[in-house]
Amino acid sequence: MINDKKVLFSGMQATGNLTLGNYLGALKNWLTLSNEYECFYSVVDLHSITVRQDPAVLRKRARALLTLYIAAGLDPEKNCIYYQSHVSGHAELSWILSCFTYMGELNRMTQFKDKAAKHADNINAGLFTYPVLMASDILLFQSDVVPVGIDQMQHLELTRNLAQRFNAIYGDVFTVPEAYIGKTGAKIMSLQDPAKKMSKSDENVNGSIYLMDDPDTIMRKCKRAVTDSMAQIRYSDEQPGVKNLLNIYCTCTGKTPEEAEREFDGKGYGDFKMAVGEEVIAVLKPIQDRVKELEKDKAYIDGVIKNNAEKANYYASKTLRKVQRKVGFPDRIR
Ligand code: TYM
């Protein structure tokens, strides 16, 4: 607990262009939950270098992502928005927790398998231990809740296991976190292949709506979305393309799938896709405008970066000192 509130942690990688999946699966829920919890939202740049990055591009994207968090509506006075690399506690706790993680556990991680297959020329140790760093991010702030998309569930389970394992040896050190998964936006699929997750790294740019896509591009991608020949708008696994568009529509509007089915009853796919496009534009356009405004105010963003790094370091050190004492590191002499 911080200031009598439960703690929320989440983060995103600044690699590639963020997609509507990132927004609907995670960022949108961050906004809903931010009043209820003491929140830490990190731009997880330590995670990004598990895949080779151009340094200048990474730095630029990290700043754009931090700006986007604010533009989406997270108030940096109330929410701790910061770069992971500005808080050394993440890496320190990660080392300690890696000594409590079994190779077998990491070997089972499906994201490692996927990424290793994709980057066969660079299967580095960081890629393998990535889930330990993610667990450390969460446990460092004694987080109660972690809003993420479904693809992060396996990492969340590992985090819970590590917290419980550590607590069983050393007493009540870590809060055991729960995942928060939204009802309709937890897994947004590619618009071109509804069997595949919408992803920043998809080579087919028509499969993903990027958060900074202009309205015409958004509408074009929605109109081109793959559906089927069943000519009915039903929320069913037999119609994965339509179901995905309904998920997008419902998460944007806050309507339930049943309400949306009723609304589009008897309508054609053309009208339906247009309606989806309009709702996506209505959600993204104000954020894009705010990003452009915020980008001009360098001093303001710099202030956020500085103040929030201090705040994050303060809470991170509290947990870290406790953990260091528990595992037997000598006390510091002051
Ligand atoms: P990342 O950067 O891949 O994705 C950020 C968030 O977006 C969600 N997401 C999706 N949700 C629904 N549909 C999709 N198609 C979709 N694509 C992505 C992800 O589930 C995630 O919530 N390892 C994490 C970052 C991370 C983290 C953490 C998250 C590092 N430490 C601690 C939470 C807590 C990642 O790579 O997310």
Alpha carbon distance 278, 262 (integer Å): 18
Find the 91 Cα to ligand 1 centroid distance in Å: 19
Kindly state if the Cβ of 26 falls inside 6 Å of ligand 1.
Answer: yes
Which H or E element spans position 80?
Answer: strand 80-83
Q: Indicate the top mutation candidate among 10, 18, 22 to test ligand 1's pocket, ranked by most ligand atoms within 8 A of CB.
A: 22
For the chain, 334 residues long, give each residue's pLDDT as a single digit of tens: 999 999 999 999 998 789 999 999 999 999 999 999 999 999 999 999 999 999 999 999 999 999 999 999 999 999 999 999 999 999 999 999 999 999 999 999 999 999 889 889 999 999 999 999 999 999 999 999 999 999 999 999 999 999 999 999 999 999 999 999 998 899 999 999 999 999 988 889 999 999 999 999 999 999 999 999 999 999 999 999 999 999 999 999 999 999 999 999 999 999 999 999 999 999 999 999 999 999 999 999 999 999 999 999 999 999 999 999 999 999 989 8
Whether 6 sits among the annotated catalytic residues: the reply is no
Inter-CA distances, 216 with 55, 201, 225, 274, 285, Å: 32, 22, 14, 11, 11
Find the 197 Cα to ligand 1 centroid distance in Å: 12
Alpha carbon distance 303, 150 (integer Å): 34
